[in-house]
Amino acid sequence: MQSYESTPAGHYFKIVPIVQVLEAIQHLGNAFALSAVAEQNRSLPFDIGQIESDYNYKQDLKHKAMEIEKMKVEELSPLAKTLKYTGMGKVSNEELNQKIAEGQDTFQIGFIQKYKDAEAEAVINCTKSKTGKYYADNYDIIVKEEGKADLKRNYQFSNRIEVPSKVEGQKPEKINPTITFKEAFNQMQARGVFKTFVYVDIKEPKNNRKYEAWDYINFNQTDKNGNYKSEKFYDLEVEPKIKSLSLVENMDYENFQQLCESLKRGNIQSAKYIALDGTQEQIYLVANAKFKTINAFDKDMNPINLHEKRQLELDALEQHKLEQKQGQKQGQKVDNEQETTQQKIGKSLKV
């Protein structure tokens, strides 16, 4: 059985309702004390003072444990916030606390996420600052996919960077260009991520300026550390591209915005195509900044061209209208011929 003293602070109250027990013991002690008047030689089978002392001692332990836990949370806070922001907030707190308790200058902690056709693992490298608090320095992502070689790349955690406002009197804008875990996975799947980056002027921070770009991994080039390089593209605007497609999502502003934001994070995003006859078809979309377009796929992930698909529908509709028109003309011709025949028959009868 777990000892009272070794129980985590958050679970002390779950072990026993000690206050009620103590009150019951005190009432029992009073009863024994009253009966002891008649029996002078009878003594209590327990020491109430000792029980109270033990209870107070354990309460002190509880408060101390809570203080220690509070210190750990404060120590963990910058690290926990970073991991949560980058989509790795489900890292084991128990393991983090253990790593922090060891007090090493650096430590690693793992995180694994399974997706439909692949598994992504992060090895997070944490460092202890001069103030004693831990922060996330960088992480390696390893993507494992059946039938393919594992892919690995290192990503840096960035601090928020100040960019002076162009409007006089306004506070500087703070931008964090860190690539999140899911964004990193998307990049390792050869998809781009749309981010706000900062050109940093080390000598003159007031010259810092932000810019937006689609960030891709170049699997053909590596840096001196063997890390795949990234490359940026600038000319794809998602919103007008999506508006040009016949999608259910375009009918609702909120759904439209969510679709666009998901594509900018590099996700494969499901959508519904509306045909001219009103029927809906499940499709998937991927932003392709390299070719300034939105790639579309059917439910089986086969590539489709939505503009050509729409044109074929329009052509079929025009053909149908033409056939209807020709049918109407043919019908009118038959009616006219029948009317002429009837007129001739009428004239012959008169003669």
**pLDDT value for 148:** 94
Instruction: State the amino acid at position 221 in one-letter form.
Output: Q
DSSP state of 45: S
* Separation of alpha carbons 82 and 103, rounded Å: 20
**pLDDT value for 93:** 82
Instruction: State the amino acid at position 131 in one-letter form.
Output: T
Instruction: Walk along the chain (351 residues) in steps of 10 and give the mean pLDDT of each run.
Output: 41 45 58 51 55 65 56 61 90 86 93 93 95 93 96 95 88 94 98 96 90 97 96 96 95 95 98 95 97 96 95 91 79 61 57 51
The pair of structure tokens assigned to 88 is: 């790795």
* Separation of alpha carbons 136 and 125, rounded Å: 6
Q: Confirm if 309 and 297 have CB atoms less than 8 A apart.
A: no
What sign does the CA torsion over 16, 18, 19, 24 have? positive
> Residue 150: CB partners within 8 Å, gap ≥ 6?
142, 143, 144
The string of pLDDT tens digits covering residues 151-208 is: 999 999 998 999 998 888 889 999 999 999 999 999 999 999 999 999 999 889 889 9
* Separation of alpha carbons 125 and 110, rounded Å: 9
* Separation of alpha carbons 192 and 289, rounded Å: 7
Q: Confirm if 199 and 208 have CB atoms less than 8 A apart.
A: yes
**pLDDT value for 321:** 86
Question: Which candidate, 127, 119, 122, places its Cα nearest to that of 144?
Answer: 119
The string of pLDDT tens digits covering residues 289-322 is: 999 999 999 999 999 999 999 999 999 999 988 8
* Separation of alpha carbons 130 and 132, rounded Å: 5
Cβ neighbourhood burial of 337 (10 Å; 0-12, 13-18, 19+): exposed
- Residue 194 is inside which H or E element, if any? strand 193-199
